[in-house]
Structure 1
Amino acid sequence: MPYHNVQDPERLQSLISAMMLIESDAELDILLKHLVRSACDLVGARYGALGVLDASGQRIAEFITFGVDDAQRQAIGDLPVGRGLLGEVIHAGTSIRVDVMPTETLSALPPNHPPMHNFLGSPVRTADGFVFGNLYLTNKLEGQFTEEDEGLIETLGRAAGLVIDQANQRTRIRGLTLVEERERMARDLHDTVIQRLFAVGLSLHAALTKSLPDDVSVQINEALDDLDDTVRRIRTTIFEITQGPTADRPSLRSQVLRTIDELPSAAGLHIDVMFDGPLDSAVGSQSCEQIITSLRELLSNVVRHAQADRAIVHLALTDGRLEMRVEDNGSGMTTATTSGNGLTNLSTRAESLGGDFAVTLGSKGGTVATWRARNLAI
C-alpha cells in the first residue's frame, strides 16, 4: 500500500517526523540507530532491528536492534546471519508480513530470545536500487501489522536509503580529501624540500672538482653524506604519508621511492628523483605495475653496466602521456647497455601501453634511458 493512500493525518505526520529524524548530518552508525527506533515508533512495534548486508547481499554483516538492552543482547548470544524468516526477506527483496509466527520459526529462536507474535520485514534500498539492509519489526503493540504499516515502512526505507547514500558520500569525500591532503604534503616535501637539497648537493659536488685542501674536501664529502641521509629520511616520510588507511593501493610516487630505496647500498649509487604531473591519480594499477617493473630493470642496468655513482630518475605525466627518464653519469653507451633481453622486455612493456623505449648518449656523457607510455588508465 503506497504511503499516499494513508488517510490518517497523524500517521502521515509520524512518517514525516521519522523521515526528518533520520535526515541529519550524523555519522552513519547513529543514523542507522535512529532508523530502527523511528520504524518501531511509526508502526507501534515492540522490537525492531536493521540487518545490514555484506558485500554479497546474502548475509547479515551488522545487526542493529531496538527494544532489547545490552544484557538481553548478551543473553541471546550470536547475532543472526540471515537464515529463516530473516533470510526470506533477504532473498525475496520485498516486504514480508506475518500475522502469526510459524512454529518452526519460533522453535529456531535462541533460548533467551524475546517471544515473537507477528512480523514485518522490509528492504532498505539506496538510490541505485542496491539493498543496503532490511528492517525487521515484531510484536506490534496493538493488533497485527497492516498493509498501511507496510506502506509506511517501505516509504521510510526508501527515504533512509537516500540518507545512507548521502552519509556514504560524505565519508567518501572526507576520505578523498584526506588522500589529497597527504598527496599535497608529499608533493611539497619532494618538489620543494628534496629539490632544494638536491640543488645544494649538486653545488657541493661541483666544488669537489676544484683544487681544495684535503680537510675541506673531507668536510664537503661529509656534508654530501648528510644530505643523502636526509633525503632518504624524507623519502621514507613521503612513503609513509602516501600509505594512509584510506589508500586502496600504494601511490605511484611511493612505489618509485620504495623501489629506489630497495637498491643495495653496496651499489654506491646516489639517485635523485623528480616528479611532474598527476602521477598518483591518472595511472591505473596495471600500468603502475609495468612502470615499476621497468624502473627496476633500468636501475639494475645502471648498477651492473654503467659504472656510475649518480643517477637521476624523472617521471613526468603531460596530456595523458608518461615519460620516465633514467640518466646516469657513467661510462656511456656500450654493447651491454644497448642489447640484451632486459632492453627487449623494456620495449615490450612500453609498447603494451602504447609507448616506446630508447637509449641514448647523455649530453655530458653517461646514458639516458627514456621509457614512454600513454594508455595509463588500466
Structure 2
Amino acid sequence: MAEPDPKDSPGAATQDDGGLQGLAAELTARVPQLLEGTRSVGTGLELRSTLDRICATAAELTHARYGAIGVVDEPGDSLSDFVTHGVPDEVAHAIGRPPDGRTGLLGALIRDPVPIRLNDLSADPRSAGFPRSHPRMRTFLGVPIRVRGDVFGNLYVAEKRCGAPFDDDDLHMLSVLATEAGIAIGHARTYEAARQRERWIDGSVAVTTALLSGGDAEDALTVVAEQARRLAGSAAGIVLLPAEEGGLEIVAGAGDQPSTSLGVIIPAHSPVVAALRRGEAVFVDDAATDPRVITRLADRFGPQMLLPLSSGGRVLGALSILRKRGERPFTESERTLATQFAAQAALALKVAETQRDRERLAVYEDRDRIARDLHDLVIQRLFATGMMLERAQRRSAVPGVQAGVGRAVDELDVTIQEIRTAIFALQQEPAEAPSGLRTRVLREINMAAVPLGFKPTHRFLGPVDSLVGELTGKNLIAALREALSNVFRHARASHVEVSVDATAVLPDGRDAVRLCVADDGVGIPDSGRRSGLRNLARRAESLGGASRYGPGEEGAGTTVVWEAPL
C-alpha cells in the first residue's frame, strides 16, 4: 500500500495555509510602510536630499543593509551622481572615487535597464569586483528608474539583513519605489534646471550692469569672467579679445591664479581661434589632450567651453570656461546656458561700446564748443582789452602809469597764449582715467543687489581713492566680489553692510586698508566647502595681509574681514 502524499494530508494543508496567511500578513503590514516611503520620496525639490531619501527608503523596505542610487548623465552612458545609504563616511572615503557606471554590473544596468536579482554577487560574470575597503556584499537587487520611457538611473539594494536572498516581493516594492523615485527625480531635475536658468539670468543682469555702468573696461571684463566661472562651477573663466597680430589675447580672468595668464595670446593659426572667429562655439572634453587646443595654458585643465562673444554678425571676442582635469564634461544644458550667457554678454559689450562712443562724442562736442567759445569770445575780448590798454599807455604822460599798463598788456599776452594752449589740449583725445576704488566698490554693491534682492549699505573711512594702491585695490575688489557672492549663495541674509577703511593699521604697524562685509544671515555651517574663504585668505596673504571670518555682532550672521597693506 502506497504511503499517502504528504501534500494531501490535513496537517500539510493547514501548514501551507498558515504560510500563505503569514506572507499576506507581512505584505499587509508593509503596505503602509511602502506608501509612507513613496510619500517621503516625493517630497522636496533638492535633488541631493531626494536621492538620500530614496536610498534610505529602499533599504528600509527591503530589509537591506545597503542601498544606492545611480543617476544617469544626459548622454545616458555613465553615472553623473551616485548616492549610498548604509556605508559609513570613513569607509566611503577609504573606497575613494564612486563608480562611473562605465564597466561592471552597474554598467550592465545602464546599457540594459532591466531588473537584476542575484543571490551571489561575486559569482556573476558581469561583476567587476569590489575595490579595497569596500563592504562585503553578497545578495543584490537592482531596478531601473524610468519615467515615460526615459531612464533616469537605477536603484540598488544589497546584503539583505536576514541573510536570505531578495524575493519577488522585494522586487515588486523596489519597482514601485523606483517609479515614485523617477517622478521625484524628474521634478527635482526640472527644479534644478529652473534654478540654474535663474542663476544664469541673474549673472547676465550683473554683467550687463557692470558693462553699462560706465566704469573701467578691464574691471567689467573681469566681472564677465568671474560670473561665467561661478555660474558654470568651473575652475577658471577667461575673456579674450582680438590681438593686433590676428590671434586672441587673454585680457581678463577669474580663478585661483588669474593674473598668470593675462597677456597670453592664442595664435591666429589655432583651430580654436579660427572657429571662434567664424562665430562657432568649441566644446572640449579634455583640453590637455584635444589636438585643437595648442597652448600650454590648457595643460592644467580638462573640460572646456570656448564661446564666441558675437553680436549682429560681429565677433567681439571670446569667453573660455574651464574645469580641472578629471572633472566631468559640461552637459548639454550647461552648454546651452553658457552660450546664451555669452550672447548676452556680447550684446552688453556692444551696447557698452556704443554707449562709450556716444559719451565720448558728447565729450568731444562739449570740448569743441568750449574751445570755440574761448577762441571766438574770450581771446578776442582779451585782445581788444590789450589794444585799449596800449592806446591808453601811449596817451598817458605819467611814467608809472605807462610801466603798469605795459605789464598788464604783457600779462594779457601770456594769458592769451595759455588759453590757446588749453584750446589745443581740448582738441586732443582725452585720456581715459581708470575709475577710483570708491566707484568700483559701489559698482560691485549695485551688482550684488540683483541676486540679493536688496542693496547692501556701505561706508567709507579715509581717502580711499588716493591712499590705496592699484594692486591692493584690484585684490580688494576681487575679495569684495567673492564675499558678496558667498552671501547671496549661502547666507539667506536680509541685510548686508560693506565698509572700506583706508585708515586701518596691521598688527606690525603698517598702514592698511580693511574691507568688512557683515550680514545677518544663517552663519557659516560647521561642515562644508571653504574654497571661497580660502581664496580670500590667499589674496590677502599674497600682499602681506590677512583675512578672517566669524559670527557677527551678538553672535548672529557672519562677518568677513579682509585687510592688506596700502
Normalising by structure 2, what TM-score? 0.36
1:94 aligns with 2:283: no
Aligned to 1:136: 320
SS in 2 for 1:36: helix
SS in 2 for 1:243: coil
Partners of 1:165 and 1:217 lie apart in 2 by: 64
Residues 89 and 119 of structure 1, relative CA distance in 2, 3 Å threshold: farther
1:18 aligns with 2:203: yes
Q: Residue by residue, what CA displacement relative to the aligned partner does 1:99-133 show, whole Å, maximum 9, x if unpaired?
A: 244746499543x865332222110113x322111
* 1:68 aligned to which of 256, 277, 286: 256
Distance apart, 1:41 and its partner CA = 3.2
Aligned to 1:287: none
* 1:30 aligned to which of 213, 219, 222: 219
Aligned to 1:79: 264
Identity between Structure 1 and Structure 2 (%): 24
Q: Residue by residue, what CA displacement relative to the aligned partner does 1:242-284 show, whole Å, maximum 9, x if unpaired?
A: 334359xxxxxxxxxxxxxxxxxxxxxxxxxxxxxxxxxxxxx
Query: What is the identity, as a one-letter code, of the residue corresponding to 2:230?
Result: D
Partners of 1:106 and 1:129 lie apart in 2 by: 24
Farther-moved stretch of structure 1 (42-51 vs 154-163): 42-51
Structure number with bigger Rg: 2
Distance apart, 1:134 and its partner CA = 0.9
Alignment of 1:315-334 (within 5 A): none
**Contact 1:19–1:159 (CA<8 Å) still a contact in 2?**
yes
**Contact 2:288–2:299 (CA<8 Å) still a contact in 1?**
no
Query: What is the identity, as a one-letter code, of the residue corresponding to 1:97?
Result: F
Gaps of 5+ in 2: 1-188, 433-566
Farther-moved stretch of structure 1 (23-32 vs 80-89): 80-89
Q: Residue by residue, what CA displacement relative to the aligned partner does 1:35-83 show, whole Å, maximum 9, x if unpaired?
A: 2232233333223211112367x3223432222325xx54x69613345
Alignment of 1:34-45 (within 5 A): 34-45=223-234
Normalising by structure 1, what TM-score? 0.51
Aligned to 1:316: none
1:50 aligns with 2:239: yes
1:59 aligns with 2:247: yes
Distance apart, 1:85 and its partner CA = 5.2
Alignment of 1:102-251 (within 5 A): 103=289, 105=291, 108-110=294-296, 115-126=300-311, 128-139=312-323, 143-204=328-389, 213=397, 215=399, 219=403, 224-245=409-430
**Contact 1:63–1:80 (CA<8 Å) still a contact in 2?**
no
**Contact 1:179–1:246 (CA<8 Å) still a contact in 2?**
no
Partners of 1:77 and 1:202 lie apart in 2 by: 60
Partners of 1:94 and 1:106 lie apart in 2 by: 14
CA RMSD of aligned residues (A): 3.7
Residues 199 and 154 of structure 1, relative CA distance in 2, 3 Å threshold: same
Gaps of 5+ in 1: 1-5, 248-378
SS in 1 for 2:300: coil
Distance apart, 1:223 and its partner CA = 5.3
Partners of 2:287 and 2:411 lie apart in 1 by: 77
Partners of 1:215 and 1:97 lie apart in 2 by: 88
Partners of 1:148 and 1:42 lie apart in 2 by: 13
- Corresponding residue pairs, total: 235
Query: What is the identity, as a one-letter code, of the residue corresponding to 1:52?
Result: L
